[in-house]
Structure 1
């Protein structure tokens, strides 16, 4: 009986670790600027200066978000001269995830944007 309880605790701990990792992954995608960067990198490698020009974001903003995405294991860079070329680490998996998110959003309609905690009203600079 004690063995059964211990096994259940291990499974619960494994679930908690997996769910925490999933929550951290989704947090990496939780900012509209990061999503814009990810979508742009899906087109191919870019330098920070290219991303700032294409997305209309400040260099510091792009760099900050790239650092977050790098820490999440979603992007990587390689040196090219004095610049760095940024790319998606797992482009097909990222695109599959974004496509699944779009399908889910089409099913839920405006429900997610109306959420009091995470909806568009709760985002900095966003208004309904």
Structure 2
């Protein structure tokens, strides 16, 4: 496999991480600062176990980080670049929303 193919494979992996609506909702909820898992759960309106599984995935892949504050574990975006990706996504979506909306190839099951 060439270096270019490896880079594309890695980029696809990043976009798969962002490609789940629950993971994306979690990342969006962290744009305003760190939150506990229970705060994230309320914000994204998903079950605690579902949010915990997605947080573990995001943490393992380096998109979020956490820190302990007493008995609580607080989560935040791993770095400014993640927030920039989310902002850029909004900008792009505002320009192509109608085409994305009508696309049947990427509908959720």
- TM norm structure 2: 0.88
Deviations 1:20-44 (A, max 9, x none): 1111111111112211111111111
- Report the secondary structure of 1:110's partner residue: helix
Distance of 2:75 and 2:50 partners within structure 1: 15
* CA-based RMSD: 1.6
Offset at residue 83 of structure 1 (A): 2.7
Q: Which residue of 2 aligns with 1:116?
A: 104
Question: Whose RCO is larger (CA < 8 A, sep 6+)?
Answer: 2
Counting matched residue pairs gives: 109
Q: Which residue of 1 aligns with 2:91?
A: 103
- Report the secondary structure of 2:66's partner residue: strand
Q: Rg: which structure is higher? A: 1
Of 20, 24, 27, the residue aligned with 2:9 is: 20
Residues 1:42 and 2:27 are matched in the alignment: no
Deviations 1:41-94 (A, max 9, x none): 11111111111122221101111111111122100112223331111111x212
- TM norm structure 1: 0.76
Of 49, 58, 62, the residue aligned with 1:60 is: 49
Q: Which sections of structure 1, spanning at least 5 residues, go unmatched? A: 1-11
